[in-house]
Structures are given as structure tokens and as C-alpha cells.
Amino acid sequence: MPNQQLLEHLDAKVLQGLIDRYYAGENVVALLKEFDVTCRPGDLWRHFPPDEAGRDCPMCSEPLIVPRLSRTGMRGKMTSPARCSACLHVETPRCTCATCSAARRLAVQEKERQDREAIANFCTCRWSYAPLKITPDQLSAEAAIALLSLVRCGGWLDDSSVGAIRNSVISFAPQDAEIQRQLLDVLLEYCLVAPLPNSPAGTFVTTGDDQGWQMESAHWAMLFPDPPGFIRQLECLVASSSWPEAWLADCHLVWKRLAAAECWEFCKYSVQKRDLPMPGAIALYALIENLLRDFSVSQCYQLIWASAADATDYRARKRISVHHAANFLIGACQRRADRSRTEHWLIKGFHRNFQHGRSQVSHVLHEVFLRHGEIGFYTSPIANSAC
């Protein structure tokens, strides 16, 4: 600890001389003896009065001072921030004095206010939050399926808003497939729902000048009249025999897209299990569409799994790259499907993969709308739609 009395027998000029000679690198033991100072040589600098910063404290206008450093510290280019001789202010960004702490709190609050304003502007420019006049029978089946799935996944937060789909025990739709975005886009285009500007942190993200948003974490404003009542009416309509005319055909289209998404998700699982990358998207979608003409999702799973094994074997034999092997999978699967058609192979199919359970869209489509349960998984959607 600095001892003010230790150097008080030295007048200001002599003291400055001692300080200058200390920092000039003179022998400290000799200096202690010459100036009649008693302390450990390594502690001499601690007893020097602080240097003057030459400016005043911005908080209280008293002079700022700069605490001394040892000459070793000076050689190591250490610096000591200026601090106020009267208040607790220290000239660092992390100063904990009351004024700086309050200023930082204000800056954080101002940043949060600006962020909220930017999010509100982003939302109102992008979506209408006006109440919509619509009845359940005016919805397409695709929108109705998407809406029921969203409400069941997100759950009611209050009677006009629904929570985030990422918090659902059951995933909204097969993972990593486009169908989730497509179905939620249908609801946004109808202006049936809109993301709430006060959704959880991280929903709206700013990158440079671009503002983006995450569908999974958004909370949703329900913009149709009496939302809980509307959903009850919609469920009654779905359960009735008086469906709007286009609904059945619409449901089969959603079935086909859902089946394709489930195959995509399973292909991703199969290639990951064999340390292969995903095949090219265009080729894979074309393959899946071809398979679903005659095969159920269950049978497609088996064909894809076997073809992933073929690709791995081929790679081991021919020493080809993983990308080449992933593309080989497409051809192998197509050949398997073609042969099974011409030679009438019995493809028993797989059960659902426990890592990829049924999605909410699958439950709503196959249980609530089509009411045939897992027939949707064990039969071809295209063969069915032709009936």
C-alpha cells in the first residue's frame, strides 16, 4: 500500500528528481539510501504520488490522475488508465462509476428500443396485421392443414396468438425439407397469420443492412376472427362430409409433397449413416417423384437405404469420391425401382424411423383430414390419387 508519509520529507522538486532518476533506471537501493527512504526496493514506485493526466474528469470536473507503474511495467508497455482524483470514474469502457453505469444502461435500453422499432418496421412492411374476414370453408385444404398443424405445434399463448413451432414435441414437418416453409408461406400469403414482432429474442436477426427471421422461433398472430372459435369450426368442417369441392384433390397433393419430404429426410439420414453427402437436389427430387409413382414412403425408405449401401460398397470397390458415391446412389436406386417394377419384387418396406417420427403435418393430414392413419405411409400417394 502507498504510504504518503514515506516521502513527505522530500520537497516537490527533490521528489520529482527521485521519480525521474527511478524511471531513468538508476540503482534503486542507492536511491533509497541517497534520499533516506525506507522501503523494499521493489515497492518504491508504489509510494510515488500519481501523475497528473492534464485534463479534468468529465463527470465531476476534478483533475484526472494517472496511477504510477513500476519501471518494469513501463518497459512492458503497460498503461494505466486515468482516474478521477475525486470520484470513482476511471477512463475505461468498463468504468463502474455510477454515471458510466447509468450511461451504459441507457445505451443498452436505447439499442433495445431501436431494435424493437426496426423489427416492428420490418414486420409491418412485410406482413399485414389487419383482421381478416374469412370463414373456414373459404380456406384451401393446404392452408387448413397448415393452420391446424401450426396451432397444434405452437399451442395457444392467448386467444389470438400461437407459440413457436420449435417448442413442439412433434416436429411441424419432416426436417430439412422445403415443405415446412412452403406450408407456412401459404398461411402468410393468405394473411391468416403473421409473425409477432415481440417474438422471442433471436427470431428477427439483423446482418448488416439485411433483416431476416426464423420461422421456427416466431410467435404467431392469428388474424382471422375469433381464432379459437374459428379453429373449432374448421375442425368440425374437416370432420363433416360437406368438404369444399377442391379439398380432396388438394389433400392428395399435400400427401404427395409430404411423402416426398419424408423420403428426402430419410435419404439424408441414410447418407449420414454412411458418411456420404446428400446427392444433388434436382436428381434426388426427380428420383423421389419417380419412386412415389408406384411405391409407398415405407417402400421408398427400403429402396433408398439399400441404395445407400450399394453406393458405399461401390465406393469401396472403385475407390471413388464420396460425392461420386452419393450420385451413384441415385442411379442405383432408380435401377432397383425399375427392376422391382418389371420383375414384380415384393418390397416389404420399412416402418417409420424412430429418429424421424411422424410430423404434425402427417398427423393432421392422415388422421384428421384423410382419416386413414398410417395408410398414408404404407401406400403410394400417387397410386391413391389416381383412384
CB of 99 to Zn ion, least distance (A): 5
- Interface with Zn ion includes 365 (CB under 5 A)? no
- Interface with Zn ion includes 311 (CB under 5 A)? no
Q: How would you classify the pairing of strands 204-207 and 210-213?
A: antiparallel
Which residue of 57, 173, 187, 364 would you call a contact of Zn ion, by CB under 5 A?
57
**Residues touching Zn ion: how many (CB under 5 A)?**
9
CB of 55 to Zn ion, least distance (A): 11
Q: Tell how many helices (H) and how many strands (E) occur in the chain.
A: 14, 9
- Binding part of the chain for Zn ion, among 53-61, 150-158, 204-212, 246-254 by CB under 5 A, reads 53-61
Report which of 30, 31, 28, 23 is spatially closest to residue 41, judged by C-alpha positions: 28
- Interface with Zn ion includes 64 (CB under 5 A)? no
Length of the chain: 387
Query: Of 87 and 132, which has the nearer Cβ to Zn ion?
Result: 87
- Binding part of the chain for Zn ion, among 8-16, 77-85, 234-242, 354-362 by CB under 5 A, reads 77-85
CB of 54 to Zn ion, least distance (A): 15
Determine contact, residues 333/267, Cβ cutoff 8 Å. no
Query: Of 85 and 384, which has the nearer Cβ to Zn ion?
Result: 85
Three-class secondary structure of residue 180 per DSSP: helix
DSSP bridge partners of 70 = none
CB of 108 to Zn ion, least distance (A): 16
Give 313-353 as a 3 state SS string.
HHHHHHCCCHHHHHHHHHHHHHHHHHHHHHCCCCCCCCCCC
- Interface with Zn ion includes 82 (CB under 5 A)? no
Report which of 232, 28, 257, 60 is spatially closest to residue 147, judged by C-alpha positions: 232
Q: How would you classify the pairing of strands 156-158 and 161-162?
A: antiparallel
- Interface with Zn ion includes 100 (CB under 5 A)? yes
Integer Cα distance of 244 and 227 in angstroms = 20
- Interface with Zn ion includes 84 (CB under 5 A)? yes
CB of 17 to Zn ion, least distance (A): 30
Integer Cα distance of 381 and 259 in angstroms = 7
DSSP states along 246-263 = THHHHHHHHHHHHHHHHH
The distance from CA 123 to its chain's CA centroid, rounded to whole angstroms, is: 18
Query: Of 47 and 104, which has the nearer Cβ to Zn ion?
Result: 104
- Interface with Zn ion includes 87 (CB under 5 A)? yes
Query: Of 83 and 152, which has the nearer Cβ to Zn ion?
Result: 83
User: How far is the first Cα of the chain from the last one, in angstroms, to the nearest whole number?
Assistant: 93
CB of 61 to Zn ion, least distance (A): 7
- Written as nine digits, the cell of 283 is 436428381
Determine contact, residues 216/223, Cβ cutoff 8 Å. no
- Interface with Zn ion includes 215 (CB under 5 A)? no
Which residue of 39, 97, 118, 322 would you call a contact of Zn ion, by CB under 5 A?
97
CB of 66 to Zn ion, least distance (A): 14
CB of 53 to Zn ion, least distance (A): 11
- Interface with Zn ion includes 322 (CB under 5 A)? no
- Interface with Zn ion includes 60 (CB under 5 A)? yes
- Interface with Zn ion includes 59 (CB under 5 A)? yes
User: Any idea what DSSP says for residue 210?
Assistant: E
CB of 67 to Zn ion, least distance (A): 15
Integer Cα distance of 110 and 100 in angstroms = 15
Which residue of 89, 257, 336, 358 would you call a contact of Zn ion, by CB under 5 A?
89
Query: By the criterion CB under 5 A, which residues form the site for Zn ion?
Result: 57, 59-60, 84, 87, 89, 95, 97, 100
